[in-house]
Amino acid sequence: MDTAMRSSVSTHVPRGIARAIAWGVLLVLPACQIPKLRPPEAGPPLPASYNGAASPESSAQLKVEEFFNDPVLVQLIYQGLAGNQELKILEQDIQIANNEILLRRGAYLPFLSLRTGAGLDRSSEATPIGAAERQLLSPRGKPFPDPLPDFLVAANISWQVDIWRKLRNARDAATLRYLATADGRNYVVTRLVADVADNYYGLLALDARLEVLDQTIAIQEKSLEIARARFEAGRGNELAVQRFEAEVRKNQSEKLIVKQDIIESENRINFLVGRYPQRVERPAAKFVDLNLSALSVGVPAQLLLNRPDVRQAERELEAAGLEVKIARAEFFPQLDITGTVGYRAFNPRYLFNPEALIAGIAGDLVTPLVNKAAIRAVYGNANARQLQAVYNYQRVVLDAYTEVINRVTMAENYRVSIEFKKQQLTARDAAVDFSGKLFQAGRIEYVDVRLAQRDLLDARIALIDTKRQQLSAVVNAYQALGGGGNLWHHFMTSPPPPGAAPRPPSEPQPQGALPQGTPPQGALPQPGLLPPPRPGDEPGQLRPPPALEPAPPPRPVPEKPKQPDLQPAGALVPALPGGVEWLPAVPAVPEQK
């Protein structure tokens, strides 16, 4: 008997091993035909400073109230946050992204449905099945009715088992795209702040220009009166009178053009804040003496945290990596489980009897064998889109750095230019006063007076235009550094300033997404190594892993700060299991000197 048992065991063991090997070959064989991914090209490293300029803090950390220090402008900005139509459109994009998370979340959970039905069926007696059914009797010993009724109440379940994390990666990618959409909205907020402030200072510049024209006309009218008096006294000619009168009429005409520019500038602001044309209230300040907060550029690595468009590009890159994993899962078998349980009977009286119970369960394991070219094409497209995301990330970082350099240097050069123009204006003002006295005394001709007045007008207009450009450069430098990037969160969580428009409804949080601070598995090289959420982070915001964390701003201490371990530009992060995707090619930050 022992010999027979050993023989039986020895027969079954090789069969089990053979089945295991067959299943293993079936699961692993598709992976041998997966094409290799194309790596990205290395990008330029991120400099440690802005052409030698750096500071411990960045102006992007200042709130708009602190940076602009103008209650009227701040109120306009908050009205824009509440009424701007583009922001409302983006809010709906965020809602769509939130619903996409719900859709992806439900895809990897079992689907349960309830089915009820009723019908009639009559089989042909000229067929074996119909002839056999005529001989059958019901449980009560009576023939079945003809035609045969059919009543059904059943619950159906279907479940695609997410073996390769295809469905969960799709959910995590949707979560990242939700966060990217929110960052895209925040970038539009920074542009809205800059546009409102830029047009606001442009409006003040037009007011100053109108005031200069009024002063110039007053001076020219005084010179016109002197020319007329000299002509009536026989000490001058009528040509001087006509020339001075022509200059007065010219500047009076220019006033009307400036007034039209004021109306259009006011309406640009009204459009940005989402209201119909009306007068924009503003203070009567001396425009050339306006000053904003001094710019602090920080270090370039802070752009990776402060600029919403950089964060958006990073989210899109992480999502593109997950899309590659989703496409890769198509090479492997797919397991679907279906089941049914319920009651079925030919008479409703028997529908819920134990004898009417029906149940069934089945599993399908499907693996692609033919037409893999289509799957390879989808995989190749996902790889190409991932490379696009890498290069887009590098482009956004490069563009952000270039914007800061351009705006900061422009603000400084125009600031120095304003000092020279103020000195020029002082000399021109003295020249006009002196020429007027000489003309009244008859020691110079009217041409000299007219030229002095024209030079003074040109100098005043040039000073206003230069100041206008300098304030525009400061405003856009604040935006380029990432200023206003957290304004929407502040706007939605703090009381609005007096006179501000009511807030829009709160934006939806990602329903069914991962808990706050929990990274999507597979989205990063080492799942679970994300740092905890920081104060001010949006709910569900995903932080980059420590290897990609931008360098903190250096502190003014004598010893050299320790630099974080950043990947060089374009460097590949160690591959995930299966070698699927790369993470953002974060530019390297050289050591601070």
Q: For 349, which DSSP code? A: G
Query: Where is pLDDT greater, at 261 or 429?
Result: 261
Mean pLDDT, rounded, for 255-272: 96
- Return the minimum-mean-pLDDT range out of 43-52, 70-79, 524-533: 524-533
Judged against a pLDDT cut of 50, whether residue 195 lies above it is answered with yes
Read off the pLDDT of residues 78-116 as tens digits, 9 standing for 90 and up.
999 999 999 999 999 999 999 999 999 888 889 999 999
Phi, psi of 358 (to 5 degrees): -125, 150
Both tokens of 91, joined, read 């809010």
* C-alpha to C-alpha distance for 571 and 443, rounded to whole angstroms: 78
Single-letter residue type at 290: L
What whole-number distance in Å separates Cα of residue 145 and Cα of residue 347? 10
CB-based burial, 78-89: b 16+ in 10 Å, e otherwise: bbbbbbbeebee
Residue 119 scores a pLDDT above 70 = yes
Residue 541 banded pLDDT, cuts 50, 70, 90: very low
Return the higher-pLDDT residue of 510 and 98.
98
Q: Smallest Cα–Cα separation from 95: which of 461, 584, 387, 504?
A: 504
pLDDT digits (tens, 9 = 90+) for 137-151: 766 667 777 788 889
pLDDT at position 560 over 50: no
pLDDT confidence band for 214 (50 / 70 / 90): very high
Lowest mean pLDDT among 24-38, 390-404, 528-542: 528-542
Q: What angle do CA 476, 480, 484 make, to 5 degrees?
A: 85
Contact 145, 346 (CB under 8 A): yes
SS3 content of the chain, % helix, strand, coil (to 5): 55, 10, 35
Domain 113-161+333-366 in CATH 2.20.200.10 = yes
DSSP 32: G
Q: Concatenated DSSP letters for 72-135?
A: HHHHHHHHHHHH-HHHHHHHHHHHHHHHHHHHHHHHTSPEEEEEEEEEEE---TTSHHHHHHTT
- Look up tokens 């123009």; give the residue: 421
d(CA 433, CA 430) in angstroms, rounded, equals: 5
Beta bridge partners of 547: none
What token pair was written down for 73? 């402008």
Average pLDDT over every residue of 424-447: 80
The residue whose two tokens read 């300029």 is 53
Lowest mean pLDDT among 176-185, 457-466, 531-540: 531-540
Longest Cα separation, the chain: 150
- Residue 523, pLDDT > 50, answer no
Tokens of 559: 């010893």
**Could you tell me the pLDDT band of residue 582, with boundaries at 50, 70 and 90?**
very low
**Range with top average pLDDT, 29-43, 47-61, 432-446:** 47-61
Peptide bond into 505 cis (omega under 30): no
Q: Tell me the C-alpha to C-alpha distance, in Å, between residue 174 and each of 376, 383, 579.
A: 23, 18, 22
State the pLDDT at residue 360.
Answer: 93
pLDDT exceeds 80 at position 199: yes
Sheet of 148-161, strands arranged across: 111-121, 148-161, 334-345, 357-366
pLDDT computed for residue 537 by the predictor: 41
The predicted pLDDT at position 455 comes to 86
Cα distance between residue 186 and residue 166, in whole Å? 30
Distance CA 334, CA 323 (A): 17
**Mean pLDDT for the stretch of residues 447-469:** 87
User: How far is residue 544's CA from residue 553's CA, in Å, rounded to a whole number?
Assistant: 17
| Average pLDDT of the residues in 218-243 | 82
Instruction: Concatenate the DSSP letters of all residues of 248-269 into one string.
Output: HHHHHHHHHHHHHHHHHHHHHH
Of the spans 121-130, 325-334, 560-569, which averages the highest pLDDT? 325-334
Q: In 3D, which of 553, 544, 479, 26 has the Cα closest to residue 311? A: 544
User: What string of DSSP letters covers 385-420?
Assistant: HHHHHHHHHHHHHHHHHHHHHHHHHHHHHHHHHHHH
Best CA proximity match to 391, nearest among 570, 169, 148: 570
The pLDDT score that the predictor gives to residue 2 is 46
Whether residue 60 contacts residue 550, with contact meaning beta carbons closer than 8 Å, is answered with no
- Render the burial of 160-174: b for 16+ CB within 10 Å, e for the rest: bebebbbbbbbbbbb
Cα dihedral sign, 77-79-84-90: positive
- As a whole number, mean pLDDT of residues 538-553 equals 37
Place of tokens 């750095």: 401
What is d(CA 547, CA 550) in angstroms, rounded to the nearest whole number? 9
What value does the mean pLDDT of the chain take?
79
Measured distance CA(356)–CA(343) in Å, rounded: 5
pLDDT score, position 450 = 75
Specify the higher pLDDT residue, 122 or 466: 466
- CB neighbours of 87 closer than 8 A, spacing ≥ 6? 80, 81, 185, 188, 189, 192, 504
Amino acid found at 220: Q
Does 51 or 443 have the greater pLDDT score? 51
Q: Determine whether 181 is exposed, middle or buried from the number of CB atoms within 10 Å of its CB (0-12, 13-18, 19+).
A: buried
- Token pair for residue 58? 């960045």
How far, CA to CA in Å, does 155 sit from each of 138, 252, 379?
Answer: 25, 85, 37
Torsion of CA 19, 22, 28, 29, to 10 degrees: -170
pTM of the model: 0.75
Q: How far is the C-alpha of 364 from the C-alpha of 370, rounded, in Å?
A: 18
Residue 197 has pLDDT above 90, yes or no: yes
- Check residue 533 and give its pLDDT: 39
Three-state DSSP state, 292: coil
Residue 371, phi-psi category: left (phi > 0), alpha (psi -120 to 50), beta (remainder): left
Rounded to an integer, what distance in angstroms lies between the CA atom of residue 386 and that of residue 317? 7
Contact partners, residue 420, CB within 8 Å, separation at least 6: none
Hey, how many other C-beta atoms are within 10 angstroms of the C-beta on 139?
11
Comparing 102 with 9, which gets the higher pLDDT? 102
Judge if 39-108+162-288+300-332+367-548 and 113-161+333-366 fold alike in CATH terms.
Answer: no
Contact at 8 Å (CB) between 262 and 277? no
Measured distance CA(156)–CA(292) in Å, rounded: 67
pLDDT, residue 384, reads 96
Number of CB atoms found within 10 A of residue 191's CB: 16
CATH of domain 39-108+162-288+300-332+367-548: 1.20.1600.10
Judged against a pLDDT cut of 70, whether residue 26 lies above it is answered with: no
Domain locations in the chain as residue ranges: 39-108+162-288+300-332+367-548, 113-161+333-366
Find the mean pLDDT for residues 289-297: 90
Range with the poorest average pLDDT among 3-12, 296-305, 380-389, 521-530: 521-530
Residue 546 confidence class, pLDDT cut points 50, 70, 90? very low
